Amino acid sequence: MSYTYKNLSISKLSIIGAGQIGPDICLHFSKVFSKDNVSLVLVDISEDALAIAKTKIEKKIQKGVDTGAFKPEMAETMKNSVTYTSDYQNISGSNIVLEAATEDEKIKNIIFNQVEKICDDDCLFLSNSSHMRPEVIFQNINNKSRCLVTHYFFPAERNPVVEIIPGEETDASITNLLMGFYESIGKVPIEVKSSYGYAIDPIFEGLCQTAILCLEKGYGSVKEIDAIAQKSLGLGVGPFTALTLTGGNPITNHGLDEMNHELMAWFKSPKLLQDAVANNTPWDIAKRGEIVEVSPEKTTVLEKQFLGAYFALSSYIIDIGISNISDVNMACEVALVMKAPFALMNKMGLDSACHIVEEFCEEHNEFQFPESLKNARQKRKWNISNIVKKVQDGVAVFTIRRPKVLNALNLDVISELETGLNEAENDDSIIGSVVTGFGVKAFVSGADINMLAGLKTPEEGYENARSFQVVFSRIQNMKKPVVCAMNGFAFGGGNELAMSCTMRIAKKGLPLLACQPEVNLGFIPGAGGTQRLPRLVGLKTADKILRTGRPVSANEALEIGLVDKLVDGDLVSDAVFCVKQLVSGELHTNPMITSPFNEGEVSQEMELKHLSQSIDVILTRTIYKGAEMNLEDGLEFEARQFGECMKTEDMKIGLKNFLENGPKVKAAFIHK
């Protein structure tokens, strides 16, 4: 067996290096390939390192069993898929070799010289590096077209972001193939042009440098600096704690000095970091659960330092042209677990952000005020996109990409989607569009719950619902076909978006494809669910789905008419083909009923269990009265009824429960 993505077939994959990150990369591959019988080989010249790596991997797999993440059979398959060896000949026959050895030019060159002699010409060569340019790593390889850097982030088995860095001679088709491959195995890849440290590490290591400089200048203690960095930037852990957990002192020390002559003069390893590396001195970080109090005076100084550094460093990456605003914004939020820099500047206001950076650059005079930030200030905002647009065979493909919230919709996202679809509608070179979601888990997980929780009055609820409805109605009424490629589950607003499209296709075999879960949260669908679902699947079927909030599998969705087709292979390519068939007339879909269609059907008694009776009354009224109206009037009625939910106690209870306890804990509704 093998794992296949487009024309990339993997039956054997080798990882070289059993030190800090190699075993974690191996663990991730063992998980994603557990159903495909892919052979994994972990190579290291040290038998001790291999033994430690095996213990580490198997311990993490067992922890997955204990927590219920892995079934015992899957865990056994994962363990058995890995061969631990010091013999490089065992990598023969690999489709991919991924090197994860020490950040040392000579060592990496020696490794790949061996690898090239052993492996076939079509084997892809990847290097997990955090700094080194691919032209340096692969300088002695004959066929450089198959060579790339793939930079994983700690911890590699769980952190989804991977930077993909092609070299000057890398085949662009291989870069594109790897971008799709990594997405297909649950990662969030971003392409970065070749540059020392790539896009994200100069930001992270620059913040570490800032923290250590603050310590040297007496702005606070290690614990205080960590605490304020967490508070001001939204970090999971502070810079000193991050360096401690990852063993990052030596590589950061080296990286900062290299950035000094590779990037700009501001980067330089502080003396305290040099001493910590030379003497193997640990940072005095706070213990787990320890509360660190910081005076208001120190807080103000440290917040300005970190915000100034963060905004300046992120803008600098845009200045040097190796990545784009949206990728850096997303990657910082997801990979580094911190507030997204450009979104934070937009929220704060560009004038305020620029003032903070100006003060930072005055104190750190080797850091020039970034040109990209000047331009953003003139435009009053950074243009951040949550949608990736590509054109494939004359079809515009829009991918909603918000991996942190599983592509959840908010008003910015639907506005951006509407703009893109309108542009495609008016572009004579475009014959139609495809809408899909990023990743393999979710098409769209629903409406952003924080947005809904921010609604206060029935009128705000109505306006919010209408904002979604107006866009979805425009999608439904477009002259050019819009095919929805449901790459994963579609909850709430995701399913409502899908239903507004000309046609829906979905991955075959999904046990959970669509759901209108709003009743579990104490409100009704507000973006068309109560009106479009009955018109697609019939009143009785829709009644049960809407009032119970139960999920629908891909097979059931096809049976009841919620989707038009299930796909086994490349979903987006199939969706593009469907657009072409719709345009040529080879394929037809049944248009949605837009006229009144309720012929006297009334709601049936239903066991609601834990669900709110007061919300059910509003919901059934909306479903059945709406069916007596034409579609547009029904949508208007639904929006008004969504606003009515805001008068209930149960909506407050449902949203509070979800935000505090997540979706698995049932809300204690009081039916008021």
As annotated, the active-site residues are 496, 518
| Dist. CA 22–CA 6, nearest whole Å | 26
Across 570-603, b (16+ Cβ under 10 Å) vs e yields ebbbbbbbbbbebeeeebeeeeeeeeebbeebeb
DSSP annotation of 447 reads B
| Dist. CA 444–CA 345, nearest whole Å | 26
Angle 22-32/72-80 helices, nearest 10 degrees? 130
**How many residues appear in the chain?**
672
Q: Choose among 313, 246, 234: nearest CA to 285.
A: 246
Phi first, then psi, for residue 281 (nearest 5°) are -90, 125
Count CB-CB contacts under 10 A for residue 645: 27
Tell me the two tokens of residue 273: 């970091």
Residue appearing with tokens 């000193």 = 240
Q: For residue 495, what are the contacts with CB-CB under 8 A and spacing of at least 6?
A: 514, 515, 516, 529, 533
DSSP annotation of 552 reads B
Q: For residue 292, what are the contacts with CB-CB under 8 A and spacing of at least 6?
A: 223, 224, 226, 227, 286
| Dist. CA 573–CA 579, nearest whole Å | 10
| Dist. CA 595–CA 628, nearest whole Å | 8
DSSP annotation of 537 reads H
Q: Please list the residues that pair with 4 across neighbouring strands.
A: 9
Phi first, then psi, for residue 656 (nearest 5°) are -60, -45
| Dist. CA 222–CA 298, nearest whole Å | 12
| Dist. CA 366–CA 357, nearest whole Å | 13
3-state secondary structure of 487: coil
CB 452 within 8 A of CB 411: no
CB 302 within 8 A of CB 310: no
| Dist. CA 207–CA 330, nearest whole Å | 17
Across 458-471, b (16+ Cβ under 10 Å) vs e yields beebbebbbbbbeb
| Dist. CA 22–CA 53, nearest whole Å | 8
Residue appearing with tokens 């979905």 = 506
| Dist. CA 298–CA 634, nearest whole Å | 57
CB 285 within 8 A of CB 238: yes
Phi-psi region of 13 (alpha: psi -120 to 50; beta: other; left: phi over 0): beta
CB 322 within 8 A of CB 198: yes
